[in-house]
Structure 1
Amino acid sequence: MKLRHSLVLLTWCLASLAGLSANAGVIINGTRVIYNAEDKEATLRINNDSTTPSLVQVWLDSGDAKSTPETGKSPFFATPPIFRVDPNKGQTVRIIYARDPLPTDRESVFWLNILDVPPMPVTKSADDANYMQLAIRSRMKLFYRPTGLPGSSFAAADKVQWTLHQNADGVVLQGKNDSVFNVSMDSAKIVISDKTYEVVTSMIAPKSSAEFVVRDLKQIPTQASQLEYVTINDFGSAVKHTNSLTP
């Protein structure tokens, strides 16, 4: 069956330590944005290393993964919101806080969306018009950091308190974050003797706890075990941690 119309597919782009790549040419310099309260704005650089131009659209939301430029809600806005990036050129995006009230005793997190739409190919015949156009959306976290927060975002991950709990479905790992910073989890596993159990992780918000499912572990172990986990710091780098878990 032939395609009679161009299709636009929205797909997720995975972060690398050096930056996010929306396609083979469009590079987003960074994996997160830190917005300090005393700053007038934060900036993000987007470069196009390909041989064709791209149309880029940017917007923010408060955690709705299905948000669009029309539905995304956030006390921040990006400018320019839509722009063309020519080959081997770049564009600096400014992110500005609209000064809507936010907590002053802890970090807040929002999401920055970058949609990259490559140009349509030049068609020479009816058959050439049957193509698939791929638009790729990347999402990265924006952390709003109030002035004068105690402690350090880099130390927060080491201070998480970990415990195992039993529920009807098996074992969950609880992480208690008493700091005022978000702890971005990348991965985790529990090692018991010669066996390893993967943990399904996500972010732990400031001054809160989160529970993560431990895959294939049905009972809390009676012997000591070790938690090995990886977090992502302000620079987008992966940091390894270990923690002993006692029965």
Structure 2
Amino acid sequence: MEPFGTSTDQDVPFALTPPLKRLNGNARQQLRILYLGMGLPADRESVFWLSVQEIPQKSKDENILQIAVRQRIKLFYRPAGLPGDVDQVPSRLQWRRVSKEGKPGLEIRNDSAFHISFGTVNVKSGSNSYPVPATMLPPYSSQSFAIERASSLAPGGATKIEFESINDDGVAVQHSGDLSS
């Protein structure tokens, strides 16, 4: 397990059991993740990468293609008693038009204690749609992005935001909102 988006040489306050397990074909293994009880903020979610690797055993036959699979899974630690409802966070995001490196840009602000993961984010202006490369927004933060191919985006013109957020079940949920100047 490693911190999300930072250096990987930091210790994480979790223990994973079992750390290594041999499985026969079509077998399953449940992993237990134990929080050690300290080291994480109590006022917001924290996010980590959980890396699970499958290494096939050596084949007895020659000329066999074997593939080792490594999965990186986002692991969110959510302290008890956080204010608000995680399902309401996408509707409370604030979207604002900004200038990013002299080009039209978009600022997204998250004033909640929860991370928001995006599937897609698009700025809609008339019949045109402009993609925004947003992936995840941490709690109590904002991020700015250049709006790709948006040189013709009229300042002050009516624009909408259409986006997908990924909920706790991994389902992409459609949302829309207004873009403020």
* TM-score greater than 0.5 by the shorter chain: yes
Match of 2:144 in 1: 211
> What is the SS of the residue equivalent to 1:90?
coil
Aligned length, in residue pairs? 180
Q: How far is 1:193 from its partner? A: 1.1
Q: How far is 1:236 from its partner? A: 0.8
**Segment drifting more, 190-199 vs 218-227:** 218-227
- Structure that is richer in strand per residue: 1
Q: Take 1:87 and 1:134, find their aligned partners in 2: how far apart are those partners?
A: 15
AA matched with 2:13: P
Within the alignment, does 1:190 sit opposite 2:113 as a pair? no
Task: Call closer, same or farther: CA 1:64–1:210 in 2, change over 3 Å.
Answer: closer
**Segment drifting more, 134-143 vs 235-244:** 134-143
AA matched with 1:77: A
List 4+ stretches of structure 1 deviating above 3 A.
Answer: 64-67
Task: Call closer, same or farther: CA 1:100–1:219 in 2, change over 3 Å.
Answer: farther
CA contact (8 A) 1:224 1:246 kept: no
Within the alignment, does 1:151 sit opposite 2:151 as a pair? no
Aligned residues: CA RMSD: 2.0
AA matched with 2:178: S
Q: Take 2:10 and 2:66, find their aligned partners in 1: how far apart are those partners?
A: 24
CA contact (8 A) 1:165 1:220 kept: no
Q: Take 1:98 and 1:114, find their aligned partners in 2: how far apart are those partners?
A: 20
Taking CA–CA contacts closer than 8 Å with sequence separation of 6 or more, which of the two structures ends up with the larger relative contact order?
Answer: 1
CA deviation profile, 1:186-236 (whole Å, cap 9, x unmatched)? 111111111111110121111111122321113652310111100111111
> What is the SS of the residue equivalent to 1:227?
strand
Within the alignment, does 1:97 sit opposite 2:38 as a pair? no
- Of 164, 167, 181, which aligns to 1:233? 167
Aligned-pair identity (%): 34
- Of 36, 46, 53, which aligns to 1:115? 53
Q: Take 1:224 and 1:153, find their aligned partners in 2: how far apart are those partners?
A: 29
CA contact (8 A) 1:113 1:140 kept: yes
AA matched with 1:239: V
Task: Call closer, same or farther: CA 1:149–1:122 in 2, change over 3 Å.
Answer: same
Structure 1 unaligned blocks of 5 or more: 1-59
AA matched with 2:16: A
Q: How far is 1:110 from its partner? A: 1.2
> What is the SS of the residue equivalent to 2:67?
strand
CA contact (8 A) 1:187 1:201 kept: yes
Q: How far is 1:138 from its partner? A: 1.1
Q: How far is 1:169 from its partner? A: 4.9
CA deviation profile, 1:122-180 (whole Å, cap 9, x unmatched)? 235xxx3xx65422211111111112111111111110000111122522211110111
Within the alignment, does 1:170 sit opposite 2:103 as a pair? yes
> What is the SS of the residue equivalent to 1:184?
strand
Q: Take 2:129 and 2:153, find their aligned partners in 1: how far apart are those partners?
A: 14
Q: Take 1:154 and 1:203, find their aligned partners in 2: how far apart are those partners?
A: 15
Q: Take 2:38 and 2:83, find their aligned partners in 1: how far apart are those partners?
A: 23
